[in-house]
Amino acid sequence: MQGLMQDVPLTLDRLFDHAARWHGAREIVSRDADGRVSRTTYAGAHARAKQVSNALRAMGVREGERVATLAWNGARHLEAWYGAIGIGAVLHTLNPRLFPEQIAYIANHAQDRMILADPGCAPLLETLLPQVPSVRDVIFLCDEAGMPRTSFAARDYESWIADQSQQAAWGGFDERLAAGLCYTSGTTGNPKGVLYGHRSNYIHALMTLQVDALALSARDTVLLVVPMYHANAWGVVYSAPCVGAKLVLPGQRLDGASLHELILSEGVTYSAAVPTVWQMILAHLKETKGNLGKLERVTIGGAACPESIIRTLHDEYGVDVIQGWGMTETSPLATVSHPTAEIAALPFDQQVPFKLKQGRLLCNLDLKLTDDEGRRLPHDGKTFGRLKIKGETIASGYFGGEGGDVLDEEGFFDTGDVSTIDARGYMQITDRAKDVIKSGGEWISSIDLENIAVGHPKAHLCAVIGVTHPKWDERPILLVQLKPGESAEKRDFIDFLDGKIAKWWMPDDVVFVDEIPLGATGKIDKKLIRQRMQGYALPFDGTSR
């Protein structure tokens, strides 16, 4: 016997329709490259998204074709996003911070039909377009006055949509249709395309709205620092419209001062970003003796969150840090570090070790740890193994069949992370499988070392990599970028780590560098660090362990 409830396809256009009808007056605030702030509402953005749909249809864009964006977070980007997916086109978010060759590879692989780009990306497009013949049209997300000079033909977004009707049919297709395409950072090999469906993103949006996930509400003002080109901005492009949270989209200005200004001027209550963003904001606050206004809580993810950020935000600014873990292939949110009842009852100090873990699993998903042969390992908080995940918001393969079959015989996807899971269900990342330091048959977590080292008052950023060692295979070395104007000795960092880590984890060297490079999604770029450190030799014969 079948249930008798209405059978409505879970297509994403319904979420934006809902926002326009029921939260129509809630604001969407954007800042452009010149720093100007503009305002619209869900109802306003929805009407313009319909105009985008009509403009796309007028160009002949059909269901399944890839409409790319090359843009920072802003209202026009959001309108273009829903305008494309509403008619069944696939919104492909290109990351403007990647190298042009990488973007060209990705756009070719995706066979992008057209690109909607921020005007600041014009020079990048000059290099890119000759390499990507599939792109037939370029629209700049600006008005006529803001058009950049280019050697190629392009139109401005405002005149492109101006004559289009604000009525357009959306949806009416299978909920399993592809909605979005996003390529993984490609830290090894070529980037691979993750193809989200309407249904999977719809379910992901509902999952992340739980109180024990992102807990967004109609009372929130969300500063969306995490880029829309990175895994659907952690799904917030879908979840914020569901509940009518005010959206603040900071554009390209992601420095501490600019973000801080928006936090105060817009009354931001919630934000989502990678740890390095908070390091910049905290450095700015320290310098200016500022406060964080109405900010209540932040989700930090994308990379492990250092303890110093959790404590400073809590102790000095009264802001609660919740860590989230996920990846492009997991839509992305999968675990969140909210406290269980018994942990919430503990004093803050005793809660911190759990905040440092990547958290507990959202419903609909399943996790397991295995050894290299695929045998399950215990959830005892000590045994670490390959982290594998399963569920309707997890990739089942890559676009174009790249990478072949990615699921094991039980249907789990191998995340490439090495983790533990404790008896309460808290998952903790030990490392990326390729970053973990294998020393004398045992493993050292580069993440743990970095997070402790960056707590040194003079450290701005820290990175740990393994270097080849004649006796122990690999030994860790610590790279430190000091805060501006600071100086320090190697000894200062060794002394700082002493007593906080196992003796054999102690880095064999401390190297002070001018810059710890960040990758295109704001995470420490270990691949580049390893390239830069090629030819480095340990300073002694290495009997350190």
Min separation Cβ 56 and ligand AMP, Å: 28
Residue 443 falls in the annotated catalytic set? yes
Q: How far apart are CA 261 and CA 204, in angstroms?
A: 31
Residue tagged active-site, from 41, 69, 184, 393: 184
Give the binding range for ligand AMP (CB under 6 A) out of 290-298, 311-319, 411-419, 504-512.
411-419
Min separation Cβ 324 and ligand AMP, Å: 6
Min separation Cβ 208 and ligand AMP, Å: 14
Q: Which residue is nearest to ligand AMP (CB)?
A: 327
Is 527 near ligand AMP (CB under 6 A)? no
Min separation Cβ 338 and ligand AMP, Å: 13
Helix (H, G, I), strand (E, B) or coil at 184: coil
Contact present, 285 and 238 (Cβ < 8 Å): no
Which DSSP symbol is given to 362? P
Give the binding range for ligand AMP (CB under 6 A) out of 290-298, 325-333, 376-384, 461-469.
325-333
Is 415 near ligand AMP (CB under 6 A)? yes
Residue 438 falls in the annotated catalytic set? yes
Is 185 near ligand AMP (CB under 6 A)? yes
Strands (E) located in 333-455: 333-336, 360-361, 366-370, 385-390, 413-421, 427-432, 437-439, 442-444
Is 428 near ligand AMP (CB under 6 A)? no
Site of tokens 């977070």: 73
Which positions ≥6 away from 44 have C-beta within 8 Å? 28
Question: What residues between 122 and 161 interact with ligand AMP by CB under 6 A?
Answer: none
Instruction: For residue 376, list its beta bridge partners.
Output: 370
Give the binding range for ligand AMP (CB under 6 A) out of 19-27, 319-327, 345-353, 527-535.
319-327
Binds ligand AMP (CB under 6 A): choice among 96, 302, 466, 507: 302
Is 393 near ligand AMP (CB under 6 A)? no
Which DSSP symbol is given to 61? -
Is 332 near ligand AMP (CB under 6 A)? yes
Which bin fits 422, alpha (ψ -120 to 50), beta or left (φ > 0)? Answer: beta
Closest to ligand AMP by CB, 16 vs 325, is 325
Output the six-digit token pair for 380: 């005892």
Q: How far apart are CA 284 and CA 278, in angstroms?
A: 10
Per-residue CA distances from 217 to 59, 222, 320, 420 (Å): 37, 10, 16, 32
Which positions ≥6 away from 368 have C-beta within 8 Å? 376, 387, 388, 410, 412
Output the six-digit token pair for 284: 């700015």
Residue tagged active-site, from 65, 175, 261, 329: 329
Helix (H, G, I), strand (E, B) or coil at 520: coil
Is 304 near ligand AMP (CB under 6 A)? yes
Contact present, 20 and 64 (Cβ < 8 Å): no
Number of residues counted as binding ligand AMP (CB under 6 A): 20
Give which of 497, 443, 495 is closest to 466, Cα–Cα: 443
Is 420 near ligand AMP (CB under 6 A)? no
Is 521 near ligand AMP (CB under 6 A)? yes
Is 417 near ligand AMP (CB under 6 A)? yes
Give the binding range for ligand AMP (CB under 6 A) out of 114-122, 320-328, 378-386, 532-540.
320-328
Give the binding range for ligand AMP (CB under 6 A) out of 163-171, 327-335, 401-409, 462-470.
327-335
Which bin fits 473, alpha (ψ -120 to 50), beta or left (φ > 0)? Answer: left
Closest to ligand AMP by CB, 49 vs 464, is 464
Output the six-digit token pair for 412: 């789990």
Instruction: For residue 178, list its beta bridge partners.
Output: 197
Closest to ligand AMP by CB, 311 vs 432, is 432
Site of tokens 């970053």: 435
Binds ligand AMP (CB under 6 A): choice among 124, 327, 464, 516: 327
366-370: strand order across its sheet: 366-370, 385-390, 413-421, 427-432
Question: What residues between 429 and 448 interact with ligand AMP by CB under 6 A?
Answer: 429, 432
Site of tokens 């780590």: 497
Closest to ligand AMP by CB, 182 vs 479, is 182
Binds ligand AMP (CB under 6 A): choice among 232, 312, 323, 393: 323
Contact present, 71 and 125 (Cβ < 8 Å): no
Site of tokens 């005007």: 119
Binds ligand AMP (CB under 6 A): choice among 135, 303, 333, 421: 303
Binds ligand AMP (CB under 6 A): choice among 227, 301, 455, 507: 301
Residue tagged active-site, from 286, 434, 438, 471: 438
- Pattern of binders to ligand AMP over 201-240, x per CB under 6 A? ------------------------------x---------
Give which of 413, 429, 414 is closest to 337, Cα–Cα: 429
Output the six-digit token pair for 374: 């695929």
Residue tagged active-site, from 443, 483, 490, 527: 443
Min separation Cβ 273 and ligand AMP, Å: 12
Closest to ligand AMP by CB, 24 vs 186, is 186
Per-residue CA distances from 262 to 207, 240, 253 (Å): 28, 18, 11
Catalytic residues: 184, 329, 438, 443
What residues line the site for ligand AMP (CB under 6 A)? Answer: 184-185, 231, 301-304, 323-325, 327-328, 332, 358, 415-417, 429, 432, 521
